[in-house]
Structures are given as structure tokens and as C-alpha cells.
A and B are shown apart, each in its own frame.
Chain A
Amino acid sequence: MAKKSDKKIIFNKEKKMPPFAISFYSMEYNKTGGWRNFRPVIDYDKCSCCLICWKSCPEAAIKLKKTKVKGKEKFKPVIDYEYCKGCGICWEECPTEAIDIEEEAE
């Protein structure tokens, strides 16, 4: 379960409890990566850093990493397997076919 120190806490403890319920813990304890049947893998040799995968990921499981490609500053997509549910949208949408999908082992 989540710890109190988890990320942003919306509820302000010093003030009185509001008359209605406000959720103040993050959901990050729920590691949705365990739901995955298929694992998307990015081949960075083919990746053009168009970020279509990042735009269309429902889980926000694709992170951006600043890198330099041929002297140009670009954002590189990196998949966070802790939360990737393996829906395969990135694999379907990738215009350069840089994402491959593999069956999850075990």
C-alpha cells in the first residue's frame, strides 16, 4: 500500500477535514506492469524520435529523455515497464516500425 510520503498529497492536514471525501493518496502503489501480456520494445536504431508513441500512450508509461542525436537535441522515448499495461498502441502507431512486441516471458 501507499506510504504517506508518496508524491503529491492533496489533503491539507492542518486544516479541518472537509465535509466530503477527498482522495489524497497517489495510486502509484498499483504497479499495472503486472497486467502485461505483451511487452513493447523500442529499437533505437529505427526510432526517429517523432514521439507519436508518447502522445498516444494512455498510461503515460512512456517517458521522455533528452539526448543528442547527430548534434541535434532530441527527446528519446523510454518505456516504463513498471506501469506499461502492454496495450500495444505504441506498436500499432509507430510510423517507422521501431517498436516490436514480444510475448511476456513466464
Chain B
Amino acid sequence: MKLKIPEEEIMGHGNLACQGCGATLAMRLALKALGSNTVIVLPACCWSVIDGPFPHSVVNVPLFHTAFAAGPSTASGVKAALEIQGKDTNVVAWAGDGGTYDIGLGTLSGAAERNDDMIYVCYDNEAYMNTGIQRSSSTPLKAWTTTTPVENPKESHKKDIISIMAAHRIPYLATASVAYPEDMIEKFKKAKDIRGMRFILVFSPCPTGWKYAPQLTVKLARLAVQSRVFPLIEIENGIKWKLNKEITHPSPVSEYLKPQGRFKHLSDEDIAEVEQSVEADWNRLLEKTKK
């Protein structure tokens, strides 16, 4: 029997993540694809905690902790230093949605415009989780967080980071989900062989922040894809949009929303509004992929 996923485990044991953490699974799968010839640059995010206290580290590859906004710029510097030494090493900037959508967006845009040689991974858990579940611009419509309480849930839509990054015309851009490990590993392997700025958005559910039972992490990630909330796509050079997973018979969005405590307050009208926004986003995406 041949395995579709590399057997070697690069990520070690004993991390400090919550039970059922999607981000930990994302890192485990990503490292399987990238191999041990990798340097990780880590701006402040959940993973700064998960990795363990100094001088301990769980990932078994060199890992550089840096300031919240400085992920992409530090990765540019690390890559430049490695290039001078004549080393061909994968440099991965691994940031959460806060460090990508909000605080690190400026430096990310700069690195993308310079087309610096790095893989930028954003694991998207849709809020600032380790500081106490504050809203980020990745938080979806109507969701509860501690700064958007039930009486006043989030009124704006999730920021469309994919289109923002596609507008930079970077060589490779993809979305991946922890529920589709084969697809995710394939995308990381593809990204590894491309030079220049590569951006991968990984959907990683968070049991603590989304308020669901920890065993549902992979199921919710799958439901997000099947209900068209999180489409799996690839974009090359910002022009060639490709839909990896055609969803011909989508499961209802309410099925995805229901197990999550952060959507518990939604009335039927609210759910209809979320459904409409998901459908509108999907149609907009289809238009782009048809070109």
C-alpha cells in the first residue's frame, strides 16, 4: 500500500494547542509537504504559543519569532541571507488571520509587490483567538466574538484577501482546507517548486473561538467547502483562476453554521442573509474562473 501523504512526521509532539486545533493540523500537513529543509518565520499568532516556550520548539525546523506586522518583511530578510550563503531553503512565513488580514497586510503587500521568494501561509481561524477571541477583518458576517457580542454581531463582510493578493499578480496563490489533506499537500508541493511570492490560505477551524466540540474540526472544515463558504481555488499569476472542487450540490449553509456557538444567536432571517452573501461570493468567483 502506497501512502498519498508523506509518512515522515517533521512536527514533533507536545505542542501547547487546544484539543482539536485546526492550525496544528495545518502545520503538520504543511511540514510533511515542505520537508525539513525549511525555515519558518512566525509573527505573533496562535502558533507563537503552540510552538512552546523558549528554548523549546515543537516543529523541529528553525523557527524565527517576530513582531506582529513583520512576518513577510522578516521572511524577505531571512531569504536574502540564505541566498547570500548559497542555500536553497524554503522560507515560510506562517501567520494567522490577524497578522495577514489586518496588522501584517502592509508588509505582506510590500513583499508581494517585490515578489520576494517565500511561501506565505495564512491559517485562517477568523478572529484573534489566543488573545481572547477579538474580531478581525476575517471574521464572517453576523459572527459572535468578544468584541462583537450577541446584541451587536459583526455587520461587515469578511475581507476578500484572495482578490487582494491576486491583484498583486503573484506567481501562485491557493486556498486549502485541513479537511482535504491530499489537496493541501499537493498545493504545498506545487508551491515549493515555484519561485517568487506564493500565498496559501488554509482554513483552520478553532474549537475554542468558534464554540464547538473539538471532534468537529475536520467535519466543519469539510462542511465549509461543501456549502461553498470556503471554496478551494488556485490562481496563477493573478490571472488564471481555477476552481479545484466543483460543488454541484452544495449542502445548506445552515448545516455549517448550526454546530458553532458563535452563530447560535442567528435568527432565520440572519441565516438567509448569510446564505445570500455566500451565494453572491460564489457567483462572483465563478465569473472569475470562467474567464
Contact = CB atoms under 8 A, between A and B. Distances in A.
Interface of A: 2, 7-8, 10-11, 20-32, 35, 49, 51, 55-61, 64, 72-75, 80, 82-83, 85-89, 91-93
B217 A27 contact: no
Interface string B51-68: 110111110111111000
Given A10-B57, A75-B1, A87-B215, A56 B178 contact: yes
B14 A29 contact: yes
B19 A86 contact: yes
Majority secondary structure of chain B interface residues (helix, strand, loop or mixed):
loop
A78 B17 CA distance: 22
A26 B25 contact: no
Given A25-B57, A73-B1, A58 B51 contact: no
Given A23-B63, A55-B181, A60-B13, A85 B57 contact: no
6 A-B pairs with the lowest CB-CB distances in the bound complex, closest first: A88-B215, A23-B57, A87-B20, A30-B14, A27-B14, A87-B19
Give the bracket for the number of chain B residues in contact with chain A.
35 or more
Given A60-B9, A88-B214, A92-B219, A32 B57 contact: no
A76 to B, nearest CB: 11
Contacts of A10: 57, 60-62
Given A24-B57, A35-B19, A87 B214 contact: yes
